[in-house]
Amino acid sequence: MITNEDIKRLQLPELTPDQIRRITNAETTCRNSLTDWSKNYWFEVLRKLCVKYGALEYFRKVLH
Protein backbone atom coordinates (compact mmCIF):
# COMPACT_ATOMS: atom_id res chain seq x y z
CA MET A 1 0.00 0.00 0.00
CA ILE A 2 1.35 3.41 -0.94
CA THR A 3 1.79 5.75 2.00
CA ASN A 4 2.79 9.40 2.07
CA GLU A 5 6.21 8.31 3.32
CA ASP A 6 6.64 6.10 0.23
CA ILE A 7 5.85 9.04 -2.03
CA LYS A 8 8.44 11.22 -0.29
CA ARG A 9 11.13 8.54 0.04
CA LEU A 10 10.83 7.19 -3.50
CA GLN A 11 10.47 10.66 -5.02
CA LEU A 12 7.20 9.73 -6.69
CA PRO A 13 5.21 12.38 -8.51
CA GLU A 14 2.24 13.96 -6.81
CA LEU A 15 -0.46 11.33 -7.06
CA THR A 16 -4.12 12.04 -6.50
CA PRO A 17 -6.04 9.92 -3.97
CA ASP A 18 -7.81 8.16 -6.86
CA GLN A 19 -4.50 7.22 -8.48
CA ILE A 20 -3.15 5.91 -5.18
CA ARG A 21 -6.35 3.93 -4.65
CA ARG A 22 -6.13 2.36 -8.11
CA ILE A 23 -2.50 1.32 -7.67
CA THR A 24 -3.12 -0.01 -4.16
CA ASN A 25 -6.19 -1.99 -5.23
CA ALA A 26 -4.34 -3.52 -8.18
CA GLU A 27 -1.45 -4.46 -5.89
CA THR A 28 -3.76 -6.07 -3.32
CA THR A 29 -5.75 -7.94 -5.95
CA CYS A 30 -2.56 -9.20 -7.58
CA ARG A 31 -1.27 -10.42 -4.22
CA ASN A 32 -4.56 -12.22 -3.44
CA SER A 33 -4.97 -13.86 -6.87
CA LEU A 34 -5.18 -17.62 -6.87
CA THR A 35 -4.69 -18.63 -10.51
CA ASP A 36 -1.76 -17.93 -12.81
CA TRP A 37 -4.04 -16.17 -15.27
CA SER A 38 -5.37 -13.74 -12.67
CA LYS A 39 -1.90 -13.10 -11.22
CA ASN A 40 -0.54 -12.27 -14.68
CA TYR A 41 -3.54 -10.08 -15.48
CA TRP A 42 -3.39 -8.01 -12.29
CA PHE A 43 0.39 -7.80 -12.44
CA GLU A 44 0.10 -6.22 -15.90
CA VAL A 45 -2.64 -3.87 -14.67
CA LEU A 46 -0.39 -2.78 -11.80
CA ARG A 47 2.56 -2.28 -14.16
CA LYS A 48 0.50 -0.25 -16.64
CA LEU A 49 -0.90 1.97 -13.88
CA CYS A 50 2.57 2.61 -12.47
CA VAL A 51 3.88 3.48 -15.94
CA LYS A 52 0.89 5.75 -16.61
CA TYR A 53 1.26 7.62 -13.31
CA GLY A 54 5.07 7.69 -13.30
CA ALA A 55 5.38 5.48 -10.24
CA LEU A 56 7.84 2.88 -11.53
CA GLU A 57 10.01 3.25 -8.42
CA TYR A 58 7.07 2.06 -6.33
CA PHE A 59 6.46 -0.80 -8.79
CA ARG A 60 10.07 -1.93 -8.38
CA LYS A 61 9.70 -1.73 -4.60
CA VAL A 62 6.56 -3.87 -4.70
CA LEU A 63 8.30 -6.57 -6.75
CA HIS A 64 10.83 -7.27 -4.03
Write the pLDDT tens digit of every residue in 9-58. 666 667 888 988 899 899 999 999 999 999 999 999 999 999 998 888 88
CB contact set of 61 (below 8 Å; sequence gap of 6+): 6, 10
* 1 has a pLDDT exceeding 80: no
pTM of structure: 0.78
Residue type present at position 61: K
CB contact set of 13 (below 8 Å; sequence gap of 6+): 53, 54, 55
The confidence score (pLDDT) of residue 45 equals 94
Q: What are phi and psi of 15, to 5 degrees?
A: -105, 140
